[in-house]
Amino acid sequence: MNPEIITLPRHGLNWATTLIMAAFHAGAIAALFFFSWKVFFATVFLYWMCTGLGISLGYHRLHTHRSYVVPKPLEYFFAICGTTTLEGGPISWVATHRVHHQNSDKPGDPHSPRDGAWWAHVGWLLWGETMHNNTRVMSKYAPDLAKDRFYVWLNNYHWVPLVAMSGILYAIGGLPLLLWGTFVRVVFGLHATWLVNSATHLWGRRRFNTRDDSRNNWWVALITFGEGWHNNHHAHPTSARHGLAWYEFDPSWITLKVLKFFGIARAVRVAKLTTAVAEREAA
């Protein structure tokens, strides 16, 4: 496997990505002039649905690491939610993240802070020659998803659900709901996800002596539905539970426990703190 095919440094900006990001940030700033509590709480709900279900539970814990199993329609729904975050299609997202785990903080890692904090946060998208729109190339790293025709279609047309959702939001709540429900939500979600790539490899505690720089960062965990417990995750990548200690708030794990209680989720993989680690932390 040659991970360098996913992201290759280049000298110029990726202008298409840069202009799209700039437009969304401009829309998020404009939204501040259209604030109301009604659109704010609607945005919070959409953020949970799109980033919480789509990225944390979907793209990450389900599609990438196969930490649990749910019925196919729900698995597809999580993937559709993931596309509404402007983070690409499921095959591309999964492929990039799997390469990150294989080469974490080593040559070939698409977004390591060892190449610079700004690079890890967003530079790799703006200045990297990304292959996110090349389903054929990315399928090499996510062959399980590439076998499913729905995921291939969704990866090729990952922009469709976001455009459709934006149209619905405008029809329901006009410009204020569009600006908040799409632009603010997407921008906040992007930076929250990017902080997992950057901040959780720079700041926080290291419970496990992993071969990378991953750390547990509580404030990143708060805004990413538990993804900030990154050192736990890198030590146990297939665990559906990231917050391993009782005080490590992991909303996605709580949601998954509810799904398991009702028999919707099964084959849930869970890592547990060893007695030695627990005793060391209690000391």
Nearest-angstrom CA–CA distance, 219 and 229: 10
Running DSSP on this structure, what letter comes out for residue 87? S
Domain ranges of the chain: 3-205
For residue 127, what pLDDT is reported?
Answer: 86
Q: Which helix (H) or strand (E) holds 8?
A: strand 7-9
- What string of pLDDT tens digits covers the 283 residues of the chain? 444 445 545 557 889 999 999 999 999 999 999 999 999 999 999 999 999 999 999 999 999 999 999 999 999 999 999 999 999 999 999 999 999 999 999 999 999 999 999 999 999 999 866 556 678 788 889 999 999 999 999 999 999 999 999 999 999 999 999 999 999 999 999 999 999 999 999 999 999 999 999 999 999 999 999 999 999 999 999 999 999 999 999 999 999 999 999 999 999 999 987 644 654 554 4
Residue whose tokens read 């900006």 = 13
pLDDT of residue 130: 58
- Whole-model pTM: value is 0.93
pLDDT at 121: 97
The burial class, CB within 10 Å (0-12 / 13-18 / 19+), for 23 is exposed
CB contact at 8 A, 227 and 64: no
